[in-house]
């Protein structure tokens, strides 16, 4: 066992440094996301979701860097990644709307002017909607209509349609909208 450590000492040290650095970066980014969420009054569940996205991204970066540390050649990595990206590209083309909604959810986390509890009106030409935002999820918004129905609205359409704030914090004003 001691021979193993002596043979791969540099790789073990570099790997430990890599994971320590990426761990610190992950903590800093997650604290920043939580600080932004608290300052802008964003739901904690949404902040945790964005934190998971950061963790997965950093994990993929760690795998890439770790492969170089362990001595994998760049040509081998290029072959693996081109094959993986070809398969992923075909799969993503098939599920582009899901990715569009997730990307819109991330954008909405940082720059969406409406919060849970606000009453909004979505100016859709075919089907205009007015309701109170109950939840903002990764794929869709949950809107409570005046008649009590729960409607889901895709995040990517929220960024494409005109939206009007009808009443801020409609849940907390004591109205009987819900």
In a domain, residue 177? The reply is: no
Do residue 86 and residue 124 come from a single domain?
no
In a domain, residue 103? The reply is: no
Query: Cα 5 vs. chain centroid, distance in angstroms?
Result: 39
In a domain, residue 143? The reply is: yes
The answer to whether 139 touches 172, Cβ cutoff 8 Å, is no
Q: CA-CA distances (angstroms) from residue 143 to 66, 79, 90?
A: 44, 46, 33
Per the structure, the count of domains in the chain is 2
Which pLDDT does position 176 carry in this prediction?
45
Which pLDDT does position 171 carry in this prediction?
60
Which pLDDT does position 22 carry in this prediction?
92
Give the CATH number, domain containing residue 24. 1.10.287
End residue of a domain, out of 94, 127, 152: 94
In a domain, residue 138? The reply is: yes
Give the Cα separation of 69 and 166 in Å (integer).
Answer: 56
Which pLDDT does position 139 carry in this prediction?
84
Show the tokens assigned to 89: 């590209």
Which pLDDT does position 178 carry in this prediction?
42
Which pLDDT does position 175 carry in this prediction?
47
Query: Cα 45 vs. chain centroid, distance in angstroms?
Result: 11
Range of the domain at 125: 113-167
pTM for the predicted model, two decimal places: 0.53
Q: Which residue has 């760049």 as its token pair?
A: 74
Profile the chain (178 residues) by mean pLDDT over runs of 10 residues.
83 91 92 89 82 89 88 83 81 75 83 86 89 88 92 89 82 48
Give the Cα separation of 87 and 93 in Å (integer).
Answer: 10
Give the CATH number, domain containing residue 154. 2.30.30.60
């Amino acid at each position: 066992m001691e021979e193993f450590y002596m043979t791969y000492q540099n790789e073990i040290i570099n790997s430990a440094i890599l994971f320590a650095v990426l761990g610190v970066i992950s903590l800093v980014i997650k604290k920043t996301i939580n600080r932004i969420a608290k300052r802008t009054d964003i739901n904690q569940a949404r902040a945790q979701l964005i934190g998971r996205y950061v963790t997965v991204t950093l994990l993929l970066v760690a795998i890439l860097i770790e492969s170089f540390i362990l001595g994998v050649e760049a040509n081998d990595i290029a072959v693996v990644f081109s094959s993986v990206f070809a398969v992923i590209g075909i799969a993503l083309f098939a599920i582009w709307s899901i990715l569009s909604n997730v990307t819109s959810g991330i954008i909405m986390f940082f720059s969406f002017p409406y919060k849970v509890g606000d009453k909004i009106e979505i100016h859709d030409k075919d089907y205009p909607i007015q309701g109170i935002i109950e939840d903002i999820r990764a794929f869709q918004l949950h809107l409570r209509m005046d008649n009590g129905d729960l409607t889901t609205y895709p995040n990517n359409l929220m960024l494409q349609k005109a939206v009007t704030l009808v009443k801020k914090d409609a849940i907390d004003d004591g109205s009987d909208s819900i």
